[in-house]
Amino acid sequence: MTPSFLRDLAVLTIKSPAEASRVLLGLNVPREALWTGLALVAVLNGLLFALTNLLVPGPSPLPEVFLVPSLYTVLVAGGLLLSIYALYWTGRLMGGTGTLDEIMMAILWLQGLRVVLMVIVIVLIMTVPALSALLVFAASIYGLYILVHFVNQAHRLNSLPKSAGVLVASTAAILLGLTLLISLFGGPTSGLSANV
């Protein structure tokens, strides 16, 4: 894949997400390359997170333990894996026929674009902060639209509402799973007296 091909595919992703996802899924990238891509995306996220903290220090919504770049990288990798498997299984339960590799390819491509967006946002934070906030908001909304198309193509659902349902169901499954894990491993329980 040449830089010009990646650039053209990025533009196509913005202009026509469904067509871009069909091109992407037709590449048949080997599974080993996908796992390497996942690690690369996680590391790049960690580096950009550390750079952002250096350039614009301030309060973070994350617990302090995750402010260490290496732990943040592990958190990103774990979140990506959870998302990929949740989208795969919920899509299959809703009649989708996509493979795990296809879902992984779609998510990794979108995460790669997110890394590029983060670089642009960091530059804007240092130059035009108001524009950076607007870009993040617009990219978040439009990113969901793109993701719905990518899931639709990867699972061959032929229905954007059904694809949106897969996203909602997978998000609910992730939240439920995380809630169960937190409760199993002694997370905080609200409303219970310490003497009970």
Average pLDDT, integer, range 131-153: 94
pLDDT of amino acid 104: 96
**CB-based burial, 87-97: b 16+ in 10 Å, e otherwise:** bbbbbbebebe
Could you state, in order of their start, the residue ranges of all structural domains in the chain?
21-184
Handedness of CA 146, 149, 177, 88 (dihedral sign): negative
Please count the other Cβ atoms lying within 10 Å of the Cβ belonging to residue 35.
Answer: 12
Q: Which of 22-31, 61-70, 72-81, 140-149 has the lowest mean pLDDT?
A: 61-70
Could you tell me the pTM of the whole model? 0.85
Q: What's the mean pLDDT in 75-89? A: 92
pLDDT at residue 156, rounded to an integer:
95
Q: Tell me the pLDDT band of 98, cut-offs 50, 70 and 90.
A: very high
> Residue 101 corresponds to which tokens in the numbers above?
């590799």
Task: Provide the mean pLDDT of the chain.
Answer: 87
Q: Quick one: CA torsion of 13, 14, 16, 21, rounded to 10 degrees?
A: 20
Q: In degrees to the nearest 10, what's the CA dihedral of 106, 109, 113, 116? A: 160
Question: What is the reported pLDDT for 66?
Answer: 60
